[in-house]
Amino acid sequence: MTSEPGDRRIRAVIRIAGDRMTVEGPLTVATLARPDRKTRRDLPRVRTLDLSGVPLMDSAGVAQLIEWKRLALQAGRVLAIQNLPDQARAIARLCQVENLLLGDPSPSS
């Protein structure tokens, strides 16, 4: 995610290597920015999203996770989310989207 010149807000840093995306920094309404072109281009190949570097996430961050899951499904992939922060898990549970974010995506046998 990028910020405009002179913008001093802390932004989440997104790194994509192979099929793994890591996020470092807060994912909140105050820090979310539009993903840069490279991130948007590489996102469809991501299969794992590691949030261990995210110290804070609010409902805007949870909404961003839902969008990333949607984009993965649109690309025919399943996005596994790892290390969801506790406050984000509580928001997801309250909004009844915890299973959407963390549930087992494989079909039942």
* pTM (two decimals): 0.81
- Residue 2 pLDDT: 41
Q: In the chain, what are the domain boundaries?
A: 13-102
Along the chain (109 residues), what's the average pLDDT of each consecutive run of 10 residues?
49 89 92 75 88 94 92 89 95 94 58
CATH of the domain spanning 13-102 = 3.30.750.24
- Residue 65 pLDDT: 93
- Residue 75 pLDDT: 87
DSSP-H helix ranges across 1-109: 37-42, 59-74, 86-94, 98-102
Sequence-distant (≥ 6) Cβ neighbours of residue 79 within 8 angstroms: 46, 47, 48, 49, 68, 69, 72, 73
Q: How far is CA 50 from CA 4, 24, 80, 84, 102, in A?
A: 25, 9, 9, 8, 12
Taking only Cα atoms into account, the Rg of the chain, rounded to an integer number of angstroms, comes to 14
- Residue 22 pLDDT: 95
Q: Give the torsion sign (CA, 36, 41, 44, 45).
A: negative
- Residue 9 pLDDT: 60
- Residue 109 pLDDT: 35
Which residue type, as a one-letter code, is found at position 109?
S
- Residue 3 pLDDT: 40
